[in-house]
Every structure is written in C-alpha cells, then in structure tokens.
Structure 1
Amino acid sequence: MATREEGAKRWYHRGQALCNARDYNKAVTCYDKALELTPDDPVLWRRKGFALIKAGRCNEALACFDRALALDPEDATAWQRKGYVLAHLGEHNSAIACCDKALTLDPEHLLTWQCRGWVLGAMCCYDEAATCYETVLSIDPERGSAAWHRDFMRQKRDLAALASEIREVERTIEVPACIRDVARERDYRNVGLARAVLQELARRAERPAIQRR
C-alpha cells in the first residue's frame, strides 16, 4: 500500500506534466490532491502558486507563496515568485523587497535578477533595470534575452530623456515636428539623433539671449 508521501509524489508529477502541457487549472487540482496528503510541503505550495500565476489567479498564488515561505523562509525561489505576483498586482515596491530578500539568500539567482529588472522597468527606473540585466549576463553570458532587455531598458531611458528635454525647451523654442514624432512614435533608432539636434537648437537659441545681456 502506497504511503501518503508516495501518493503525494504521484499527484505532484501529474501536476508537473499538466503544467508542461499548459493546463494550469488542472495542475492546481493535482497539487491540491498532493497537499491533502502532505500539507506541510513548501515545494508543493510553491508549485501550486506557480500554476495559479499561469492560470491568472494572482491573489490565490500570493497566498500559496506566503504559505510556502511560512514553511521555508529561506527559499529564494518562493521569494522571487512572490515578488513576481506582487508586481502583477501593482505592488511594485513590495515586489522589489521580495526580490532583494531572495538575493540575500542566493546572490546569483538568475530569475530574481530578471524579475527585479522587469519590475524596475515597469517603475521607469531604467538604469537600475539595465544594471539587473547586466548582472544576469555576468552570471550567464550566454543568456541573450538579458542582453536584449538591458539594451531595451537603455533605449526606454533615452526616450524618456528626450520627452523630458522636449518639455523643457518648448518653453523657449519651437520644437520641430520630426523630433516630436520620434518621442510620440517611440522611434528608438532615432532617439540619439533627435536628442542631439534638440540640444543644438537649444544652444543656438541661448546665444542671442547671452549676447543681449
């Protein structure tokens, strides 16, 4: 006769297979069956939370990660996933705190660095986000997606700087439509050129004012 632990493992593996098949709600049911047999297994709570995120049931997922961390507060992956779900719920500062906790436990936890970069990007902290992706690359130089996200964060930073510069100089000069179009259309390829042209126009406008003094 199978023990409770053996039965829980069978349900766990069924849940894993259903997650791999992207049938997340059925996977949750399997994890629930496993948890009926071993309710104090933090990995099961974490896996159930992951399936709930994928099923779009974020509040339920958060409760699972809280339960997993109550059982094992040293689980860096559970802290990372709690941060991920908090970000989806709009609680960005709390999400960053969870990521930071995960990194105190495992400074090279790649998923946490990626999650932290994603949350910081959503908070418009583009330089900090790019630094997170740089850290990912320092740990795993072959992770091409991190390089793409790092560069994209830098592009978003430069676009935000252009928008700010337009607001600043339009008080004194007429900003050309082509420069406004770069900002409005998020034309990342031409942001550097637009900023350079705008700065030169602002300098030219300042010269007569200086000469009249």
Structure 2
Amino acid sequence: MATRDEVAGRWYHRGQALCTTRDYSKAVVCYDKALELSPNDPVLWRRKGFALIKTGRYDEAAACFDKALAIDPDDATAWQRKGYALAHLGEHEGAVACCDKALRLDPEHVLAWQSRGWVLGVMCRYDEATECYEAVLSIDPERGSAAWHRDRMRERRDLAALASEIREAERVIEVPACIRDVAEERDYRNVDLARTVLRELARRVERAAIQRG
C-alpha cells in the first residue's frame, strides 16, 4: 500500500473538514487533488466515494469503492459503502452481497448490518431484515434507530401477511371492507385484530361446509 504524499495529506484533511460541514461537493474536489498525488491510497478512494454518496452520485461512488477495494480488498467499510451505493442504483442483490462480504470481514460492523437490513426491507424480505437489526442491537443495545427499524420491519411483515391472507380468503368468503381498509390504509395498529377476525370468518365457513357435507 503506497504511503500518502504529504501534500495529498493536506488535501485529504481539507476534504475531511468539508465533510464535517457537509460541503460534500467541495470535499470531492479536495479528494481528487489528493488522489492526483497519491492514486494508490485506498482511504482516499473510500472517502471520495463517501462524499459522492452524500451528493447522490451513486454510480461514481461505487466506482470509487471498486478502486479502493482493488487496492485493499479486506476493507469492510468500503464493501459496506459500495453496497449502500448499489442499493441506491437498484442493484439490491449486489448490495446484499457487498454487505455480506463486509460482515465476513468484520462480523460486528454495525453499518453493514444496518445497510443489509435496509436493503432486505426494500426487497420485502422482512424477517431477514429484522434479524439484521437484531444483530445491530446485540452489538449496540442503545442504538435506538435499529430498534425503530426492527419494529417497522415487523409491522411490514405482518401487513404483507394480512394482504396474503385476504387474497386467500377471497376464494371462499366476502372479505369485509373494514379488513380490506386495514391493509390498504397500512393501519399497522389493527393488523393483528384484522388477521384474527379474518381467520375466524374463514373457520366459520369451513365449519358450515363440513356440516353441510
């Protein structure tokens, strides 16, 4: 791994300072100046990629992380951030694979777990997403955002289950509008009640069919 040029170091620190003040576009310029002098510094590529993410330039960010990983393939943070960039580009499977790589390198990489959970949630793989946020909480029990996201994944899972049960019940009963409303309006507070009522209605129809038979 190449040693960072002294002048490149000054550009790097200037970029860091600009990121602190959220002036990410100017930070990218500073990292470019640093990379002209130290093109084989993986941290510079990773930091440029981070700043590009913050400006919404996800394709360029992913390319920067590729540069960083070509130099240092064991950089768990670069893998995690590449996954984050790919997720924003709609490449969800690739994003999960990057997070998995990061977690093989560092099983307690909180941001990798969080990114993985977020992407899996977008993919409607709610149980797996919930497990990711549980992993975050096992590492950092005080991370309230993980608990919040875990609970949202559980809500979405239960809502998806209700929608599936409604489709199944429609084959044998007229599903009440109030139950449909719970699903359509994303009324998470009443999902459990709606599922319980729907199952009871279906059981009644089944019992009546058996009695007739």
TM-score of Structure 1 vs Structure 2, range by shorter chain: over 0.9
Q: With the length of structure 2 as denominator, give the TM-score of the two structures.
A: 0.97
Change beyond 3 A, Cα 1:206–1:145? same
Query: 1:54-69 alignment to 2 at 5 Å?
Result: 54-69=54-69
Cα distance in 1, alignment partners of residues 56 and 164 from structure 2 = 36
Q: With the length of structure 1 as denominator, give the TM-score of the two structures.
A: 0.97
Query: 1:137-176 alignment to 2 at 5 Å?
Result: 137-176=137-176
Kindly indicate whether the alpha-carbon contact (under 8 Å) linking 2:129 and 2:150 is maintained by their aligned counterparts in 1. yes
Instruction: Identify unmatched segments of 5+ residues in structure 2.
Output: none
Residue matched to 1:135:
135
Query: 1:44-59 alignment to 2 at 5 Å?
Result: 44-59=44-59
Task: Answer with 62-71 or 21-30: which moved more.
Answer: 21-30
Aligned-pair CA distance for 1:47: 0.4
Cα distance in 2, alignment partners of residues 41 and 200 from structure 1 = 64
Report whether the alignment pairs 1:18 with 2:21.
no
Cα distance in 2, alignment partners of residues 14 and 209 from structure 1 = 76
Cα distance in 1, alignment partners of residues 190 and 4 from structure 2 = 62
Q: Give CA-to-partner distance per residue, 1:85-128, whole Å, 9 cap, x none.
A: 11111111111111111111101000000000001001100000
1:175 aligned counterpart, secondary structure: coil
State percent identity of aligned pairs.
Answer: 81
Aligned-pair CA distance for 1:18: 1.4
Cα distance in 2, alignment partners of residues 15 and 176 from structure 1 = 59
Residue matched to 1:89:
89
1:149 aligned counterpart, secondary structure: helix
Q: Give CA-to-partner distance per residue, 1:20-69, whole Å, 9 cap, x none.
A: 22221111001001111111110000000011011111111111000000
Query: 1:159-198 alignment to 2 at 5 Å?
Result: 159-198=159-198
Aligned-pair CA distance for 1:5: 2.0
Q: Give CA-to-partner distance per residue, 1:189-213, whole Å, 9 cap, x none.
A: 1111111111111111111111122
Query: 1:59-138 alignment to 2 at 5 Å?
Result: 59-138=59-138
Letter in 1 for 2:32: D
Kindly indicate whether the alpha-carbon contact (under 8 Å) linking 2:4 and 2:41 is maintained by their aligned counterparts in 1. no
